[in-house]
Amino acid sequence: MADEVVLLDFWPSPFGMRVRIALAEKGIHYEGREEDLSNKSPLLLKMNPVNKQIPVLIHNGRPISESLIIVQYIDEVWSNNKSPLLPSDPYQRANARFWADYIDKKIYSTGRLVWGTTGEVQEKAKKELRESFRVLEKELAEKTYFGGDMFGLVDVALIPFYSWFYTLETTANFSITEEFPRLVSWAKRCMQRDSVSNSVPDQYKIYDFLLDLKNKMHSIQ
pTM of the model: 0.95
The one-letter code for the residue type at 168 is: L
Query: How confident is the model at residue 115, as a pLDDT?
Result: 93
pLDDT at 218: 58
CB contact at 8 A, 35 and 44: yes
Domains along the chain? Answer: 5-78 (3.40.30.10), 90-211 (1.20.1050.10)
For 187, phi then psi, to 5°, come to -60, -40
pLDDT of the residue at 211: 86
The set of long-range contacts for 130-137, using a CB threshold of 8 Å and a minimum separation of 24, is: 130/174, 130/179, 132/102, 132/106, 132/107, 133/176, 133/179, 133/180, 133/183, 134/180, 135/102, 136/99, 136/102, 136/103, 136/183, 137/180, 137/182, 137/183
55: CB partners within 8 A, 6+ apart? 7, 8, 9, 10, 13, 15, 16, 18, 19, 65, 67, 70
Phi, psi for residue 118 in degrees, rounded to 5? -140, 175
**What confidence score (pLDDT) does residue 212 get?**
87
pLDDT at 219: 53
Q: Is 119 left (phi over 0), alpha (psi -120 to 50) or beta?
A: left
- Could you give the CA distance from residue 200 to residue 124 in angstroms, rounded to a whole number? 28
Query: What type of residue is 68?
Result: L
The crossing angle, in degrees rounded to 10, of helices 67-77 and 14-26 is: 10
Sites in the chain below the pLDDT cut of 70 = 1, 81, 217-221
